[in-house]
Amino acid sequence: MLPDASWVDRDDVVMAIMRTGLGVLNIATPLESKAVCAAIISAQVDPPLIVVARGDACHVLPAVALSLRTQHRDTAGYVLVDPDAPPSTDTWPEAPVTVVSTTQEDGKSLRGWSIVSAAGDVAGSVARVVTQVAHG
């Protein structure tokens, strides 16, 4: 879970994911590429990883993907909550992307990413998507 101090539902999302039985690396560093990448790489987490980011935190995803790839960490997917979408690069996205939106209906984005409506329950929606990605 990438840092985002402005995300008021963040703790609820962490708890909802943990209730599914999945582990959560709750990163509490400044929202800077180097700090986020260092926190992920130094953590003892079992692959495959699912990276969850919201808003501005999505802008560090290309750097996170490159860092994970150079460390040979398997990434199962990305879950973006109301994202400020980062540009696609040659290293990102290298795994499926699902967008959880508080404003859009289910469907596909212009990038072909799946969109899931949060339908008033952001924490539950993110936890369901993370579980689906984890179990393929």
Rg, the chain, Cα only: 14
pLDDT tens by residue, 26-81: 999 999 999 999 999 899 888 889 999 999 999 999 999 999 888 888 899 999 99
For residue 87, pLDDT over 80 is answered with no
* pLDDT at res. 73: 87
| pTM for the whole structure | 0.94
Q: What pLDDT score does 10 carry? A: 93
What is the chain's mean pLDDT, rounded? 91
> Given this model, what pLDDT does residue 72 score?
87
> What pLDDT sits at residue 119?
81
pLDDT at site 85? 76
3-state secondary structure of 54: strand
Domains of the chain, residue spans: 10-134
Answer whether 98's CB lies under 8 Å from 131's CB. no
